[in-house]
Structure 1
Amino acid sequence: MSITQSSSRTAPIPARPSVREHGARRARLGLVLLLGSLSAFGALTIDMYVPAMPSMAQQLATDASAVQATLTVFVIGLALGQVLAGPLSDAWGRRAPLLIGLGIYVIGSLGCALAPSVEWLIAARLIQSLGAATGTVLARAIARDLHSGTAMTRFLSTLMLVNGLAPVLAPVLGAQLLTWASWRAVFGVLVGIGTLLLLAVIAFLPESLPAHRRRPARTDAVLSGFGRLLADADLRRHVLAAALMFSAVFVYISGSAFVLQDLHGLSALEFGLVFGANGLGIVIAGWVNGRIVGRWASEATLLRGSLLVAAIGGLAVTACAFLRAPLPLLLVALFVTVSMLGPVLADATSLALAEHGDSAGTASSLQGMLQFLLAALAAWITSQLGTGPGIMGAAMTACVLLALLPLLVADLRRRRRCGPGSADARCRRG
């Protein structure tokens, strides 16, 4: 229904446009909260039970390495689950795989809560991880369905604000639960969270991939899609950057409970607060990245700068360990390194998916698979070398430098190949 003017003096009535704008803002906020929660699924499921790892080893009559195996298995399951969920979502749409995955997650979480032994717990964690993988991979794919270019980077940076709340709130909540209940209550809460997200997706998340943009789910088509993506050198570099930065933070996640609680004597609650502060750093850095990208700096520039800051922080962690620096200095160094996860994931993901909107699910699954497989490998290697802060810092630094090196090499080659004002599209890509 249109609004007409009765005379030239009558001003247009702005009520209906303002209502639509308000509704659009509210819908966008709801989408950000839901997709951010889904993308944080893996981190939430990891971080909430990290403060309980020492007590789990005692109550299940096992050692620290066996409890750490529940973390490693979870990460491997996240990688494998994304390989399945991503291509299937390109063929079936995003909603169906997401709903199936959330149901699997709830079942796996219930199995963890009831686990009578560490072997049972490891098996249930694998089931749980396969379900959690769908939220992690499909949140990125849906973001790519809806946005492109700098708009996608800003949207991903906004998701990191919600995503970053997981490491802020999860360990604190886990530590609080441990003050009056056993570690099993942590997984009981995860059952509830998974159920709420399942209901939210059913009620509020529409399909983002129309039928005409879907791709066949045949094995040969899926393998061809992965091959085409792997042939893109820019995608490989940016996927590797995201994966290795995540690996550096995962080394911290898997070892920090033993370093800060066992070696430095922090309580479960104090450790949760430290862990949460580092998560807050991810939120702040992601927010800043979203505000300045496209205005003051490009995604490529911010990605390299964030990795450089993370490398300096990792070196500082190592130096603090070998110089036996006071605990506050170690915590500051960890904060600097971990905080850079927010901008690195947003910028690297945007650059990786930029040219692959037609296969966003497969591209997202490739990033997720590499991200979690490398993280599991890095955590396993670090655990074999020891649980000291020096080893943890050196491993974090190595991961960040390995992420930064291919980008710097590509920059040098690009400068040699491209002169000022070059029309070659490859010269303009990050």
Structure 2
Amino acid sequence: MEKLTILPPGHPLSGHVAPPGSKSITNRALLLAGLAKGTSRLTGALKSDDTRYMAEALRAMGVTVEEPDATTFVVTGSGQLKAPSKPLFLGNAGTATRFLTAAVASVNGTVVVDGDEHMRKRPIGPLVAALKSLGIDAEAPTGCPPVTVKGNGHFAYGRVEIDAGLSSQYVSALLMAAPLAPQGANAPVTVALTGTEIGARGYVDLTLDAMRAFGAKVEQLDNATWRVEPTGYTAVDFHIEPDASAATYLWGAEVLTGGQIDIGTPARDFTQPDAKAYDVIAAFPHMPAVIDGSQMQDAIPTIAVLAAFNETPVRFVGIANLRVKECDRIRAVSTGLNNIREGLATEEGDDLIVSSDPALAGQTLPAEIDTFADHRIAMSFALAGLKIGGITILDPKCVGKTYPGYWDALGSLGVAYQQ
């Protein structure tokens, strides 16, 4: 297994780093452009493992996806996806897997949506149950991928209820597929939550904004119900903002080292939920005693590593969904922190408690961090290595899932490594 040991820079990190485009928005825009009739140009896009899987899946279903430069996709679709010749393999890309599971119901034929060993452990049962309730032939025998969907050329119309407690991606998947219902039926699709609880509601807002940009008509009836007209999608030029989750590592590096890192976009200009983490990170080393991570889930590993150096202990609540991400992130963060020093982190149910100690900074505490092939664990624990000697990240290339240039970005700020 490859390893990367971070050498504490011993000075404030300052400079300019442009984070990559938003993964969440890129995969939404790619799918909607692939479902649209005509040619769309997506600029500012992220090129990473997750978006590559989405682009390859669209190509396998008859969509032309060109990449004229490092941050642009040019997508040409007919308005109708075709059945692929083999299963769609999506690695461990949660957005691609969930979104496509619903979208391929509009294909005339059978589609198998599958992923790697990690994806095959991530739940998709609630989404499959919702599709079946609409009369769509969908099966996932294990409750996780692979999913087999037999489509009849369009999405179904009617009312569908979904339990979004595990993931807001289930809601986004149904919403984005809904405009593909038969236009002659003159019947909208109504998407309703079985309760008002939803993981990271802000991501549904991202979905709605992207849908409307591609011509969808969506009305929010109340806090838990949306009505979507069967309009299909129209090609459009669409710009993608930088990734807020990626920005959290740079915000963290800035406050941890007392530096000044210009990421090119003010925190207030982000529309992604993880941008909420900025105010929490900016409070370091006086972050609050209790942090609710329910609406900024991907930022929690970043903040939890920072919390190790906070002036006072921090309890993270509202983070149960982190157990069903690319890995069990609560356990992964707890394990990593306790590898640095036993007792640094404690799990109480689905809460994570970090026993902060500013005196950790400047010490040498050799520790190998198991990333569990999770990009966010690797990038978060890199922050610990900025202040503690001997921090070694296992499988450092896993950052390619969302931020292939991460190690180079830190290097450009003066961070050195030992391999």
Q: Same fold (TM over 0.5)?
A: no
Q: Return the TM-score normalized by structure 2.
A: 0.24
Q: Return the TM-score normalized by structure 1.
A: 0.24
Q: Which has the larger radius of gyration?
A: 1
- Larger RCO: 1 or 2 (CA < 8 Å, sep 6+): 1
Q: Higher helix fraction: Structure 1 or Structure 2? A: 1
Q: Higher strand fraction: Structure 1 or Structure 2? A: 2
